[in-house]
Amino acid sequence: MRLERTVETSAPPERVFAYLSDFTNTVEWDPGTVSTTRRSGDGGVGTVYDNVSEFNGRETELVYEVVRYEPPRLVQLRGENKTVTAVDTVEVRPLGEGSSVTYTADFTFKGLARLAVPFLGRAFARLGDEAETGLREALAKL
């Protein structure tokens, strides 16, 4: 399952990247995020975050690790628990004096959770729409 959204902002790429590459800020723009704390690292490759998210009325915990870090244009994190692997990618591109941001979240379900995938399309589309709105609003404040 893949979610991908692109938003534009007047904020410069360096500021946008600094904000979005700090995964603890997901609580401000990702409506599904309940909490995100940095467990270790400086934000670059190898940094580990503990994330609690809510989806379809259920809370789930994931441990995310930064796997790619290319300031000021790209950060990628891989999150995992016993039912899902998530790869979140944030790409920041200059757009005039502002920025264009593409956020992609790829989810691979494991075990019995895979059986639910065909029934989650609408819920994931709603999650993507809400994340896009949250991103747009948070970036407008930078």
The pLDDT of 74-96, averaged and rounded, is 95
Judge whether residue 105 has pLDDT over 60: yes
Q: Where are the domains of the chain?
A: 2-140
The pLDDT of 93-97, averaged and rounded, is 97
User: What confidence score (pLDDT) does residue 58 get?
Assistant: 85
CATH class of 2-140: alpha beta
Listed residue (64, 4, 60) closest to 32, CA to CA: 60
Q: At 120, is the pLDDT very low, low, confident or very high (cuts 50, 70, 90)?
A: low
The pLDDT of 128-133, averaged and rounded, is 88
User: What confidence score (pLDDT) does residue 122 get?
Assistant: 76
Cite the beta strand spans of 17-139 per DSSP E: 33-40, 48-55, 58-70, 74-80, 84-95, 98-109
Whether the link from the prior residue into 31 is cis, omega within 30° of 0, is: no
Q: pLDDT tens digits for 29-38?
A: 998 899 999 9
